[in-house]
Amino acid sequence: MASINLIEAFQEFKDAENIDRPTLMKVVEDVFKTLLRKKYGSDENFDVIVNAEKGDLEIIRRRMIVEDGEVQDPLAEIAYTEAVKIEPDFEVGEELYQEVDILDFGRRAILAAKQTLASRIGDLKKNVLVKKYSDRIGDIISSEVYQVWKKEVLLLDEEGNELILPKSEQIPQDYFKKGENIRAVVRRVDMKNNSPVIILSRTSPDFLSKLLEIEVPEIFDGLITIRKIVREPGERAKVAVESFDDRIDPVGACVGMKGSRIHGIVRELKNENIDVINWTTNIQLLIQRSLTPSKISYMDLDNEGKHADVYLKADQVSLAIGRRGVNIKLACELTGYDIDVFRETEDGEEEFDIDLDEFVDEIEPWIIEELKRVGCDTARSILNLTADELERRTDLEKETIYDLRKILQDEFDRE
């Protein structure tokens, strides 16, 4: 039998729909030309004909018919006596086309060809997958939950490709069940053991950006641009937007009538609070807006050192800092400034205060770092908060907080 059915011989062809036919045919041709070179030493006088639709393959050998005894190149020429054995009507000077039986290569060579072809097609499928998702990095996609593990979730796209959503890229409140469809953005494409691994994310700022693009037509149309997004996934996000049309209120457009546009996004992000603010190049105004929902009284700016001391009324300090220091942390990320929050005294002047770093001999460094993390970097900023509030915002135990407050208060009493 001089032809071979590739669909039966090479099962990978059934899964190769995403590979364009010319590429597929070229791979098959290369594999069998390699076989020809091994058997005959050259593939110059052979034509490999692939019918990708049917899965059929033919190999045709071309030789010129010459007089007996004048054969100089056995690969390119055949003696007249040998030619007429194949077809009696042949004459000297004609070209003889002869079909090569695949079985002539031998069982071992055919098996090797199958393995090589399977490997090459596998590589092609990997390349197609890598290109598809490399081009979609930052895009939002919907996929089905296939398996839920402790450290990651395995998802399948509409073509059955495997996608990974690591625990680190999940919103803390996320809970998935097998079979449900979830949305995420393509974060990156990794290579693991020479196989592509598509990593998705629900914590990336790009995810929120794409959700806003879907919900707010003005963003999709380019009338409103998102200047910056910062997030603490599942807790809070701040989005700075700007309008290129003076008639459009960017914040109002993003929030929608009675919050209609933002509510769907908040639900998708597991009730993450989203503050949408107007972008401005006026850094003082930007800091003020970034500390929403608190209202600041005044601030001292150091533009060179990118530092801001913000003063607020007593009831606004906790709002500025936010739960576990999230609000002030995001404000710092959004503005690019280090922001310190101070309580405003009644006469408008700053109270006497002591920097926490002055207490390194009495308070362990990790405790100082933990307090700074929630925006408390002075003694008074800690004493202005109750022990319960400090315990709620930090990872410190109540006993440690009581000891800490006593050290700070004793210092003020001595002063």
Domain borders along the chain are 3-132, 137-201, 204-279
Per residue in 315-336, pLDDT (tens digit) is 788 888 888 889 999 999 999 9
**Does residue 275 contact residue 259 with C-beta atoms inside 8 Å?**
no
* The pLDDT of residue 7: 42
Residue 72 DSSP class? S
Per residue in 150-189, pLDDT (tens digit) is 999 999 998 888 999 999 999 999 999 999 999 999 999 9
103/15 Cα distance (integer angstroms): 26
Query: What integer best gives the mean pLDDT of the chain?
Result: 83
Strands (E) in 193-337, as ranges, are 195-201, 224-232, 236-243, 273-278, 296-302, 307-312
Q: Note the CATH number of domain 3-132.
A: 3.30.1480.10
H-helix segments, 101-204: 107-134
* The pLDDT of residue 208: 95
More confident residue, 200 or 58: 200
**Does residue 279 contact residue 239 with C-beta atoms inside 8 Å?**
no
> Model's pTM, two decimal places?
0.64
26/48 Cα distance (integer angstroms): 10
Q: Does pLDDT of 229 surpass 60?
A: yes
Domain 137-201 CATH class label: mainly beta
Domain 204-279 CATH class label: alpha beta
Amino acid found at 176: F
Give the Cβ contact number of residue 272 at 10 Å. 19
Q: Does pLDDT of 33 surpass 90?
A: no
Per residue in 360-401, pLDDT (tens digit) is 888 888 888 888 777 777 788 788 888 888 888 788 888 888
Q: Does pLDDT of 3 surpass 60?
A: no
Which residues on neighbouring strands pair with residue 56, listed in sequence order?
Answer: 5, 51
* The pLDDT of residue 56: 67
Amino acid found at 102: I
Per residue in 259-311, pLDDT (tens digit) is 889 999 999 999 999 999 999 999 999 999 999 888 888 888 888 888 999 98
130/295 Cα distance (integer angstroms): 49
Per residue in 128-140, pLDDT (tens digit) is 888 889 999 999 9
Band the pLDDT of 110: cuts 50, 70, 90.
confident
* The pLDDT of residue 351: 58
Q: Does pLDDT of 226 surpass 80?
A: yes
* The pLDDT of residue 11: 42
Structure tokens that stand for 241 in this block: 């937007």
More confident residue, 48 or 265: 265
